[in-house]
Structure 1
Amino acid sequence: MPDLRPIVVTGASRGSGLEPVRLLTARGQPVIGITREEPDLWETWAPFIRCDLSDPTAVRSLAQDLAQLRPRG
């Protein structure tokens, strides 16, 4: 049985980032993808957040967004 906490995958819109998204979601694992560009049809597999990880300000904002998604308790 998959863990119900979402796994964050960077570079999730293509290549070596997209494949884990496909595999994990196929097993029923919740995934949140981080991607610099809007993916083509990717949102059908999992939600994504656009973020350029080379931008420190964007990374801080991303961390705050992800913290809001964390279950309390």
Structure 2
Amino acid sequence: MRSFLLYISISMFVLAAICGIAEATIYGGIDENGVLQESLFLPLTFIFAAGGLVFWVLFAIQLLFNSKNRPNG
């Protein structure tokens, strides 16, 4: 179960990076009318990054509780 949370966290961070790169290369900027051009990739970047952070924190909490419950010796 621990590695499952870690794999989800890593995959969400990778998706956030892909969306951020796509936003920076494909979209963005100001057009000739002075209007800022944005796409759906920008909010997806933050959503995936926040999700990755949440799953990483859950992984760390689970790792901490499992280490406390493990008998010494």
Query: Which bracket does the TM-score occupy, shorter chain normalised?
Result: under 0.3
**TM-score normalised by structure 1 residue count:** 0.24
Please say which structure displays the higher CA radius of gyration. Answer: 2
* Larger RCO, structure (CA 8 Å, separation 6 or more): 2
Higher helix share: 2
Higher strand share: 1
